[in-house]
Amino acid sequence: MLLLADRGFHGFDLWRAAATTGADLLWRAKNNTVLPLLESFDDGSYLSEIVAAKDKNRRTDPIRVRVIEYTLGPRGAEGTVYRLITTVLDPRAAPAAELALLYDQRWEIETTLDEIKTHQGGPRLVLRSRHPAGAEQEIFGFLLVHHALRGLMHEAARHTGHDPDRISFSRTLCVARRHVTGQAAFSPLPTRPGTHRDPA
């Protein structure tokens, strides 16, 4: 397992605790993190070490990390510098370019949350249920609809040879809504046996 995290989570104690789980780590480090160059690798990464903030001067209890630095931004313009640290110390096991691409993929979860909260749900969405079980059911419903829409986008991309990430979720949602002839408006609470509730 490779655990990825943004720069807001990097900390010596949390890093050590996460590393002891057996997962490999790939976290973005803050720009002011001191990462001394201990050994350079052919893929552009280098070996370094991190220490606890209270030990930054003596550096008596360091943890070895590998650092991957790269810049993203418009061509010819000053871009954003990314500094990733990882527990994968051998560049042959995971070259720097591959890890940088993986970190970029991490941001897709942010896109997914935006799709569900902003586009699919809308800014005025309020869960109707007044009970935890009903609210949980509604949330699962939202997730299932998102999964179904993403499934349609994947199939469309596969048939046309396009990258699914390049297909607009909001447009797909609009198309799906236009093709829905009727929407259910019944309560998510279960009905008593033998009763019937008209969804209209």
Mean pLDDT of the chain: 84
Q: Are residues 46 and 18 in the same domain?
A: yes
CA distances, 35 to each of 4, 46, 65, 111, 173 (Å) = 19, 10, 9, 31, 45
pTM beyond 0.85: no
Q: How many domains does the chain have?
A: 2
Q: pLDDT value at position 60?
A: 75
Q: Are residues 39 and 99 in the same domain?
A: yes
Domain region containing 79? 2-106
Q: Are residues 13 and 98 in the same domain?
A: yes
Starting at the edge strand found earlier in the chain, the sheet holding 63-72 runs: 2-5, 24-28, 80-86, 63-72, 46-50, 39-40
pLDDT digits (tens, 9 = 90+) for 36-91: 999 999 999 999 999 887 766 667 788 999 999 998 877 666 778 899 999 999 99
Span 171-186, average pLDDT: 74
Structural domain contains residue 57: yes
Q: pLDDT value at position 103?
A: 87
